[in-house]
């Protein structure tokens, strides 16, 4: 249960909950070291303790996950990925995270709001039943029903993981990549002018490319249509940057990407727990 002090103002607001799934916020920030230097060592220690306490508070909330990242390129210094059901709480905690080190220390440089969602391109029961029949299985037989039940269980687990994922953690999955993307709507390359049958066939081939990286890359695709500038946010977790580079490269040759994909900026980070992250960011330094 969340106590009154941890909820702060958000607890007095009516929750904004999705019909299913969770809200997801990617937040990337720069650190103004000049502003940070205005605080004496004791103040800096207090603020870092407050940051660590806030991260622990957020992670203790039900159905909530928070990834903390050291961003590798100068696009940002600190990265946060926050997953939780209530948009009120997500907004409240995001603002507290921005302000916890003191006014002006953390400066947002990029953000992305999206939601976990099920895929519209997965095979449904009738399509799978037709597939079994085409392979010689007869409806009504024990073997047919056993395969159908196994299919239902796989789909249930898949949908659950899409809507309520467990994000991979460090140190096993240290490398993080995020990028937004959309499907083209050009006159000659309009994804939405294609029939659902054609789109499903194309996405099946696209998914087969991704499956070759099972065990090497974990992927979460979240929907941002109507919530942010493009249509999806793609979060990749890997054990090495080589896997990130390889999967993105291989996907570029798939027809879905070649003809219909528009990509935004790419952000690379390393998962770190708060204390190690503070040292990497130069916030702890002489404080110890």
**What is d(CA 99, CA 168) in angstroms, rounded to the nearest whole number?**
27
Sort 283 into a burial class: Cβ within 10 Å, 0-12 / 13-18 / 19+: buried
Q: Collapsing DSSP states into helix, strand and coil, what is residue 1?
A: coil
Sort 222 into a burial class: Cβ within 10 Å, 0-12 / 13-18 / 19+: buried
Nearest to 2 by CA among 84, 124, 101, 72: 84
Q: Catalytic residue among 93, 121, 158, 179, which?
A: 179
Partners of 234 in beta bridges: 179, 221
Active site residue 179: yes
Contact predicate 277/68, CB 8 Å: yes
**What is d(CA 60, CA 38) in angstroms, rounded to the nearest whole number?**
32
Q: Which residues are catalytic?
A: 179
């Amino acid at each position: 249960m969340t106590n009154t002090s941890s909820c702060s103002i958000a607890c007095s607001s009516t929750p904004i909950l999705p019909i299913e799934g969770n809200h997801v916020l990617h937040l990337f920030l720069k650190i103004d070291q000049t502003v940070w230097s205005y605080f004496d060592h004791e103040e800096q220690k207090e603020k870092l303790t407050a940051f660590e306490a806030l991260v622990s508070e957020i992670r203790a909330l039900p159905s909530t996950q928070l990834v903390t990242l050291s961003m590798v390129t100068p696009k940002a210094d600190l990265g946060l990925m926050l997953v939780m059901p209530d948009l009120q709480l997500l907004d409240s905690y995001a603002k507290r995270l921005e302000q916890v080190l003191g006014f002006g220390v953390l400066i947002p440089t990029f953000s992305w709001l999206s939601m976990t969602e099920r895929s519209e391109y997965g095979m449904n029961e009738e399509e799978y039943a037709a597939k079994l029949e085409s392979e010689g299985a007869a409806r009504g037989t024990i073997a047919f029903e056993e395969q159908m039940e196994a299919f239902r269980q796989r789909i249930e687990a898949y949908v659950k993981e899409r809507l309520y994922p467990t994000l991979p953690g460090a140190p096993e999955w240290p490398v993080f990549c995020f990028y937004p993307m959309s499907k083209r709507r050009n006159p000659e390359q309009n994804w939405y002018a294609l029939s659902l049958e054609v789109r499903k066939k194309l996405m099946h081939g696209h998914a087969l490319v991704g499956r070759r990286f099972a065990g090497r890359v974990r992927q979460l695709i979240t929907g941002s249509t109507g919530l942010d500038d493009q249509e999806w946010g793609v979060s990749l977790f890997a054990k090495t940057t080589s896997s990130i580079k390889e999967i993105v490269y291989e996907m570029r040759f798939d027809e879905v990407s070649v003809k219909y994909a528009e990509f935004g900026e790419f952000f690379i980070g390393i998962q770190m727990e708060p204390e190690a992250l503070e040292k990497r960011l130069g916030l702890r330094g002489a404080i110890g």
